[in-house]
Amino acid sequence: MARILSGIQPSGTLHLGNYFAMMKRMIEFQNDNELFCFIVNYHAMTTVHDGGLLRQNTLDAAMDFLALGLDPDRCFFWVQSDVPEVMELTWILGCHTSMGLLERSHSYKDKIARGHTPGWGLFSYPVLMAADILLYQAELVPVGKDQKQHVEITRDIAMRFNGLFGETFTLPEPLISDEIALIPGVDGQKMSKSYGNTINIFETEKELKKKVMRIVTDSTPVESPKNPDTCNLFALYRLFASAEKLEGLRERYLKGGTGYGEVKKELFGLIWEYFAPFRERRQRLSGDPAAVAEVLAAGAEKTRAVAARTLDAVKEKVGLRYL
Ligand code: TRP
């Protein structure tokens, strides 16, 4: 039983990469761990500058999580900005974070290399993430490889604070899954909103079919043997098929005589079926945003009680309580 925490950015429509890398794992963790799962809308503000879009993405992400089986009675589930304590802690931690530490952040450097003009929000992103993690005394933080350094920065900030003010924060460990690297988008690169190659979780039937048919393969003719280990289509098939089905497909690849078009049709069927039970629930939730907002409000209230405990102790230590 560990305290596990992770957040997802509502910066676009959630896709199969998000599902297998983060959401599915989180939903499984709720069974025998203390789970903190939240929608990081303050982080998304570093890239989403359209209020209507941020609002819609946030609500959609909440509906997706609930439809896919996250149970707000068995975990802490909230929207980041509904627990404002995190902003207070961000400032306090920022006063104990060196510029150099943040300047070394890979994701910051990457964004600059890709031509973004960095804002203060983007630069201080890791401090907000540290506040997210430390406010709830998380022990394990499931993230993709690209976020590992942010958890290390969090540890640095926590150690410095603990050193100055005495034991205050739990030092978190990143929990990295290898599966994340194995989720290709339709063009074969890592599935990511920024590459425009995603298959979303709740696509319409027509759109899903279109996207699956667009998955890039090599041009091996139908009758020739094919290599399952270098094939995007096979990598996606693996996520949805049973062990026997997967083994069957591997044999058909190696033997030849199976075309990619045929495999795409099967993959479409598997994805459509996999999400079928969730799709109905998703539709019901879409029709009742007020009920979803209520779930989120209750989640924030429950979470704020935990946040307040840490923040009170921190404020006392740093001298913000003067009586
Ligand atoms: N930065 C993370 C991402 O882009 C999202 C995130 C924000 C997060 N706060 C967090 C992840 C706290 C884990 C813990 O994926």
Nearest to 142 by CA among 178, 109, 108: 178
pLDDT at 246: 96
For the chain, list the domains and their CATH numbers: 3-181+289-318 (3.40.50.620), 203-274 (1.10.240.10)
- Cα 258 to ligand 1 centroid, rounded to whole Å: 41
Tell me the pLDDT tens digit for each residue of 35-58: 999 999 999 999 999 999 999 999
At residue 118 the predicted structure's pLDDT band, cuts being 50, 70 and 90, is confident
- Whether 132 and 80 have beta carbons less than 8 Å apart is answered as yes
Mutate to test the pocket of ligand 1, among 147, 169, 173, 193 (most ligand atoms within 8 A of CB): 147
Percent of the chain at pLDDT > 70 equals 99
In whole numbers, what is the pLDDT of the chain averaged over residues? 96
To which residue do tokens 């676009």 refer?
12
Average pLDDT value for residue range 207-221: 96
pTM: 0.95
pLDDT at 179: 66
Measure the CA–CA gap between 16 and 229, rounded to whole angstroms: 20
pLDDT at 178: 75
Size of the chain in residues: 323
pLDDT at residue 168 greater than cutoff 90: yes
pLDDT at residue 181 greater than cutoff 90: no
- Whether 25 and 141 have beta carbons less than 8 Å apart is answered as no
Pocket of ligand 1 (CB under 6 A): 5-7, 9, 40, 43, 129, 132-133, 141, 143, 147, 150
Measure the CA–CA gap between 185 and 263, rounded to whole angstroms: 16
Active site residue 302: no
Measure the CA–CA gap between 37 and 141, rounded to whole angstroms: 10
Task: Specify the residue with its C-alpha closest to ligand 1, atom 14.
Answer: 6
pLDDT at 180: 67
The active-site residue out of 24, 145, 148, 190 is 190
Tell me the pLDDT tens digit for each residue of 143-162: 988 899 999 999 999 999 99
For residue 80, the ligand 1 atom closest to its alpha carbon is 9
To which residue do tokens 């190659």 refer?
197
Percent of the chain at pLDDT > 90 equals 92
3-state helix, strand, coil in the chain (%, to 5): 60, 10, 30
Which residues are bridge partners to 143 per DSSP? 176
Measure the CA–CA gap between 58 and 44, rounded to whole angstroms: 10
H/E segment holding residue 175: strand 173-176
pLDDT at residue 189 greater than cutoff 70: yes
For residue 132, the ligand 1 atom closest to its alpha carbon is 12
At residue 194 the predicted structure's pLDDT band, cuts being 50, 70 and 90, is confident
Average pLDDT value for residue range 87-106: 97
Neighbours of 323 (CB within 10 A): 2
Average pLDDT value for residue range 9-34: 95
